[in-house]
A and B are shown apart, each in its own frame.
Chain A
Amino acid sequence: MSGTYLGMPAFPVAAGEAVHNTTLRGNLRHATHTIRDKRARAVAELDDWQQLRAAGKQIKDDVLRHLDHYLVRLEEAVTAAGGTVHWAVDADEANRIVTDLVRATGETEVVKVKSMATQEIGLNEALAEAGISAYETDLAELIVQLGDDLPSHILVPAIHRNRSEIRDIFNEAMGRWGRPAPEGLSDSPAELAEAARLHLREKFLRAKVGISGANFMIAETGTLVVVESEGNGRMCLTLPETLISVVGIEKVLPSWQDLEVFLQLLPRSSTAERMNPYTSTWTGTTDEDGPRAFHLVLVDNGRTDTLADEVGRQALRCIRCSACLNVCPVYERAGGHAYGSAYPGPIGAILTPQLRGMDTAIDASLPYASSLCGACYEVCPVAIDIPEVLVHLRERVVQGGEVTRAGNRVTLRPAKGHAAERAAMRAARWTLDHPAALRAGQRLASRTRRFHPSRLPGPGKAWTDTRDVPSVPAESFRDWWRRTRGPGTAGAGNSSDSGSTESREGTK
């Protein structure tokens, strides 16, 4: 059973532990470098990538701006096609709805196709409390579930495990969940996949209830779309009598035609393939083909709060491709668990604090889990400016301000841990406003430069643990300018102009 993320330490603590785990770093480095190179090749095949990316962004922005309109249309279309739509304002409500739906079938087992929304709301744990076993069927999710572990990547949740770790998990845990691992299981990926096939097929063939997420929901037609590779999605969507899909409200797309953009952007960005092996679409129920009952649970759980933030709302454009994880130098070293959420990596650093609020240490630390290098923005297929949102959220953490929580406008107080930073900024502002004080300070700093420590005491200590303190020059720029250009020089802008004119004349 997957654990929850409650009580996770702040990012710097969790990341600090992770970077000392050399197996983890090796596994992650191998995986992220492999996939980022493949992705670049897959994207290069399409001459119109930037146009597709722009269209993807525009479609999602239109969806967000008219989200109420599209959700009502979606509800009408799903209902007309024989499905039932439920609305959940938060995780507890979503879990209650799903638990009641499963109970109504009389079943105590469900099969699940990987769904980030159900991970986010902790559905498996809620079902377990109600005496219902939820079986994860995606190979990586199975590895995570059997290992009593947490996912560490959006697309490859067991990216942090290598083949021999996976074999050990299968040998140890499969028997407790169902069919045991075959005798003498080797660690070749083919044999491991075969063991998963045998283990899970028993569950697929007897499953009466399936639970899924969805990559897209089409408002115009009421169609849901699941993109996958292994066929476990097809099994969960096709064989059970009842299908319950748990989907975030932002996953709606206006029209059938919009899929032409996202079915090109998503596979290439995520698995670096021209197209993923399987895509399933279904519209309500179909007589004698697939589940006879279809329930769609639309989940808010912080999304409308995120929508209320003019800068931060762009995070809701995310299509969960994980391209940003694979290029992120911070993710590559810290691993997914350090982010303390179903959504790791750069997107997690902006999505999680917005969905959950920034009241806990981990959530307040996530906007800092980045070097702001911008690689995530470069690869994002829907052009989410992740660095912009990170900086915006940092401002919220340090200065506080207006945010929306559970639908209400509240004023966030500045986070406690940043008092020294705020004091330093206030001091800097005062100094910059008082040129004489700045000049005196600079001279003092220059004259005492030989006595400066290479590591800072107090709050600066953490910063200099991994960096050198910049050395102070013997003379400030202002003093140098005054000495070389004379005290009569006027404003800096004018003198710089005349200086460059002189030098041009000098070269004639």
Chain B
Amino acid sequence: MSTREQVLGRIRRALADAPRGTAPARGAVDRDYLRVHGRRDAAQTADLLAENLADYRAIVHRATGEELPGRLAGLLAARGARRVVVPPGLPERWLSAVQDVERVADSAALTARELDAVDSVVTGCAVAIAETGTIVLDAGPDQGRRRITLVPDHHVVVVRVPEQVVDSVPQALERLDPVRPLTWISGPSATSDIELDRVEGVHGPRTLEVVLVTD
């Protein structure tokens, strides 16, 4: 008997007391919990997102579409970034004002060691969750592979407001495709392992900057 059959057989014997059909019953779960906590308009949702991101030590900026290229150039310059990794589908216009910075294109040939020598990464996102202050990346063309937002120490992410912002975790899951590799980010890398003192920056980016763009 294979191990698989052994485990499945044990499960079936263990459940001999439990009356059950071959498939789970529908309606076994009451989903009477809330889809959203509180009532907000789009502007209030964006404010809550900004507030919760900042609460977890992300640095939040706001810009209009027109201001965005200048703002991104400013953020990279303020950081002294010389090499920036860029996902293949990042809108060309976003970095149009960036000067004197080497752009490293994300590709399968880019190794983790090479990424370690990069200062910053600029990406878009798939969705942002206001109630928890979370940015979700789904490796779409404007976000690139998972590793590019992991190894560099400085991550700038652009969130389009209001279309990419949802209120709650249930709303976010509805929008996401589980087949894509997802990375949920709530503030920069952090640890509380030493006397439960929160320290930002362990293995992931130490600095997370979020630009909320409204048109």
Given known contacts A139-B191, A197-B202, is B197 in contact with A189 (CB within 8 Å)? yes
A62 is an interface residue with CB less than 8 A from chain B: yes
A277 and B22 contact, CB distance less than 8 A: no
Q: Does A305 contact B (CB under 8 A)?
A: yes
Q: Which of B30, B52, B193 contacts A274 (CB 8 A)?
A: B52
How many angstroms between the C-alpha atoms of A308 and B17 in the bound complex?
A: 9
Interface string of B178-206 (1 = CB under 8 A from A): 11111111111111111111010111110
> Quick check: is A143 within 8 A (CB to CB) of the other chain?
yes
- Known contacts A35-B196, A308-B14; A234/B150 CB under 8 A: yes
| Interface residue range, chain B | 35 or more
**Is B207 in contact with chain A by the CB < 8 A criterion?**
no
Q: Tell me which of B13, B30, B189, B195 contacts A51 (CB under 8 A).
A: B30
Q: Are B183 and A280 in contact (CB under 8 A)?
A: yes
Q: Which one of A10-18, A177-185, A253-261, A382-390 is at the B interface?
A: A253-261
Instruction: Please tell me if A432 contacts chain B, counting CB pairs below 8 Å.
Output: no
A254 and B24 within 8 A (CB): yes
* Chain A, residue nearest B198 (CB): A189
What B residues does A157 contact at CB under 8 A? 193
Cβ of A505 under 8 Å from chain B: no
Within residues 108 to 151 of chain B, which ones have a CB less than 8 A from any CB in chain A?
108, 112-113, 116, 129, 131-134, 139, 145-147, 150
- Interface assignment of A319: CB less than 8 Å from any CB of chain B: no
B169 at interface, CB cutoff 8 A: yes
List CB contacts (< 8 Å) of B7-51 with chain A: 7-15, 17-18, 20, 22-25, 28-34, 37
Q: Pick out which of these stretches binds chain B: A64-72, A126-134, A342-350.
A: A64-72
Taking a contact as CB atoms under 8 Å apart, the answer to whether A407 and B28 are in contact is no
C-alpha spacing A267/B169, complex, angstroms = 12
Residue in contact with A65 in the complex, picked from B3, B18, B34, CB distance below 8 Å: B18
Looking at chain B's contact residues, the main secondary structure is loop
Q: Within 8 Å of chain B (Cβ to Cβ): is A324?
A: no
| A282 interface contact, C-beta 8 A | yes
Interface assignment of A288: CB less than 8 Å from any CB of chain B:
yes
Closest Cβ of chain B: how far from A310's Cβ, in Å?
A: 6
Q: Which residues of A contact B80 (CB under 8 A)?
A: none
| Contact partner, A277, options B13, B56, B150, B197, Cβ 8 Å | B56
The answer to the question of B74 belonging to the interface, with a C-beta cut-off of 8 Å to chain A, is no
Cβ–Cβ contact A275 & B186, under 8 A:
yes
Among B56, B150, B169, point to the contact of A238 (Cβ < 8 A): B150
Quick check: is B4 within 8 A (CB to CB) of the other chain? yes
Q: Counting CB contacts under 8 A, is A293 at the interface? A: no
A191 CB → nearest B CB, Å: 9
Question: Distance (Å) between the CB of B177 and the closest chain A CB?
Answer: 9
How many angstroms between the C-alpha atoms of A286 and B14 in the bound complex? 37
A163 proximity list for chain B (CB < 8 A): 194-195
Report whether A51 and B170 are in contact in the complex, using a CB–CB cutoff of 8 Å: no
A290 at the interface (CB under 8 A from B): yes
A31, A71, A194, A221: the one within 8 Å of B178 (CB): A221
Once A223-B178, A274-B52, A275-B132 are accepted as A-B contacts, the answer to whether A404 and B24 lie under 8 Å apart by CB is: no
Q: Let me know if A166 and B194 touch, CB within 8 A.
A: yes
The reply to whether B28 and A156 contact each other, CB–CB distance below 8 Å, is no
Instruction: Contacts A264-B169, A271-B192, A304-B7 given; indicate if A68 touches B112 (C-beta within 8 A).
Output: no
Nearest-CB distance from A42 to chain B (Å)? 11
A156→B139 contact, CB < 8 A: no
Assembled-state Cα–Cα distance A71/B132 (Å): 31
- Range of interface residues on chain A? 35 or more
- A202 CB, nearest partner CB in chain B, Å: 10
Q: Let me know if A139 and B194 touch, CB within 8 A.
A: yes
Bound: A194/B29 CA distance, A = 45
With a cutoff of 8 Å between Cβ atoms, the chain A residues found around residue B108 in the complex are 288
In the docked arrangement, what's the CA distance between A330 and B29, Å?
A: 34
Distance (whole angstroms) from the CB of A399 to the closest CB of chain B: 20
* Distance to closest chain B CB from A194 (angstroms): 8
Q: A218 to B9, alpha carbons, bound, how many Å?
A: 22
- The answer to whether B182 touches A238 (Cβ under 8 A) is no
Q: Inside 8 A of B11's CB, which chain A residues have their CB?
A: 67-68, 71, 249, 304, 307
Contact, CB under 8 Å: A289 / B145:
yes
A276 to B187, CA, bound (A): 9
B78 within 8 A of A: no
- A391 interfacial by beta-carbon distance below 8 Å: no
Chain A neighbourhood of B190, CB < 8 A: 229-230, 277
Beta-carbon contact of B24 and A276 below 8 Å:
no
The residue of chain B having its C-beta at the shortest distance from the C-beta of A51 within the complex is B33
B194 and A189: CB pair below 8 A?
yes
Contact A197–B7 (Cβ < 8 Å)? no
A166 to B18, CA, bound (A): 49
Among B138-175, those with CB < 8 Å from A are 139, 145-147, 150, 169-170, 173
Instruction: Flag A15-33 by CB within 8 Å of B: 1 or 0 each.
Output: 0000000000001001100
B67-93 residues at the A interface, CB under 8 angstroms: none
| A205:B203 contact, CB within 8 angstroms | no
Which residues from chain B contact A51 at a C-beta distance below 8 Å?
A: 30, 32-34
Task: Please tell me if A334 contacts chain B, counting CB pairs below 8 Å.
Answer: no
Closest partner residue, chain A, to B129 (CB atom): A275
Chain B CB within 8 A of A485 CB: no
Q: Which residues of A contact B13 (CB under 8 A)?
A: 308, 404, 407
Complex: A31 Cα to B116 Cα, angstroms: 34
Expressed in whole angstroms, the Cα–Cα distance for A194 and B206 within the complex equals: 10
Tell me which of B7, B28, B139, B170 contacts A286 (CB under 8 A): B139
- Chain A nearest CB from B166 CB (Å) reads 12
Shortest CB-to-CB span from A168 to chain B, Å, is 13
Q: Is the CB of A65 within 8 A of B24?
A: yes
Q: With A260-B173, A277-B56 as given contacts, are A81 and B202 in contact (CB-CB < 8 Å)?
A: no
Using A35-B196, A230-B190 as known contacts, say yes or no to A407 and B204 having CB atoms under 8 A apart: no
A452 to chain B, nearest CB (A): 48
Asked if A502 lies at the interface with its beta carbon under 8 angstroms from chain B, I say no
11 cross-chain CB contacts under 8 A: A46-B37, A47-B37, A52-B33, A66-B20, A66-B23, A229-B192, A232-B203, A239-B150, A254-B24, A280-B182, A283-B179
Since A66-B20, A231-B205, A264-B169 are in contact, a sample of 14 more A-B pairs with Cβ atoms closer than 8 Å, ordered by chain A residue number, is: A46-B37, A66-B24, A69-B23, A71-B8, A158-B193, A221-B178, A223-B179, A256-B178, A275-B133, A281-B178, A288-B108, A300-B10, A307-B14, A404-B14
- Which residues from chain B sit less than 8 Å from chain A, CB to CB? 2-4, 6-15, 17-18, 20, 22-25, 28-34, 37, 52, 56, 108, 112-113, 116, 129, 131-134, 139, 145-147, 150, 169-170, 173, 178-197, 199, 201-205
